[in-house]
Amino acid sequence: GYMFAHADLAPNAGVNPGEIAGNGRDDDGNGYVDDVRGWDFDRNDGTVYDGTADDHGTHVAGTIGAAGNNGTGVVGVCRSVRLSNAKFLGRNGGTTANAIRAVDYFTDLKTRHGLNLVATNNSWGGGGFSQGLQDAIARANAAGILFVAAAGNSTVNCDTGSCFPAEYQVPNVIAVASITSTGAISSFSNFGARTIHLGAPGSGIWSTVPGRGGASSYASYSGTSMATPHVAGAAALYASRNPGATAAQIRTAILNAATPTTSLAGRTITGGRLNVAGS
């Protein structure tokens, strides 16, 4: 979940336009009552922000789309984005079944309700191959939604090890490794010359987090979870600058613009790092 009331996120916090808040009804007929801000599949309710334990999602959201030109905090890769939420991880982790439901939630919002959903950010991992999850990602692909996924933080070669969901071979997947501010691959980052597409900044990333008592705060986190939203934000930015671009076109533009980077040569498909200006 993410703190949609955070001062740097509230201007870009999206809502489900087909749902009326607080009336106890499933207005848009998607099976979820009052999913105005999204849905929490772990707790099966519409409260997608559950307090300071949702710092991870809040940090990720800030990298994607924190507000700009407001004289405070940070700015996201895409300042004109609208952020939605499908939460399936809680204090005790989550299930693949709920991950599938979360992916399908967004696919339904786009296909039945016409929301301009460009990409989902998937800063999570774990478990082995799931045909059900692969099928859900394929349904998102058919709906034109990119699936941007974290490579993982175990220094694993994903060509030979397990790095799901990053290594699903579906055309809408963009798998992201982490690099440092000097361009080195982060010491923790997974990699894979045939499975991980490119690198993005993931070491020492400053972004939004919940503070005590509902305050808006900021912190520095590291992980491929922090690299992934740079790419998801880039997808949204490209879509905003190129109306009508398909998911395949956005993905191709991002991958073709990757800047060759020594630390990623032979460790990622592109051998390069994210270059938003070049895409």
6 is catalytic: no
Instruction: Write the DSSP assignment of 34-82 as a string of letters.
Output: T-SSEEETTTTBS----SGGGHHHHHHHHHHH---SSSSS---S-TT--
Residue 232 has phi, psi (to 5 degrees) of -60, -40
56 catalytic per annotation = yes
Helix axes of 131-142 and 96-113: crossing angle, nearest 10 degrees: 20
* Residue 26: active-site member: no
Instruction: Tell me if residue 97 falls in helix, strand or coil.
Output: helix
Catalytic-labelled residue, pool 225, 230, 263, 279: 225
Catalytic position from the list 34, 42, 56, 84: 56
Q: How far is Cα of residue 50 from the mean position of the Cα atoms in its chain?
A: 19
Single out the catalytic residue among 26, 27, 28, 159. 27
Cα 24 from chain centroid (whole Å)? 29
How far from 209 is each of 7, 200, 243, CA to CA, in Å? Answer: 10, 20, 31
What is the Cα–Cα distance from 42 to 27, expressed in whole angstroms?
Answer: 22
Query: Which residues are part of the catalytic machinery?
Result: 27, 56, 225
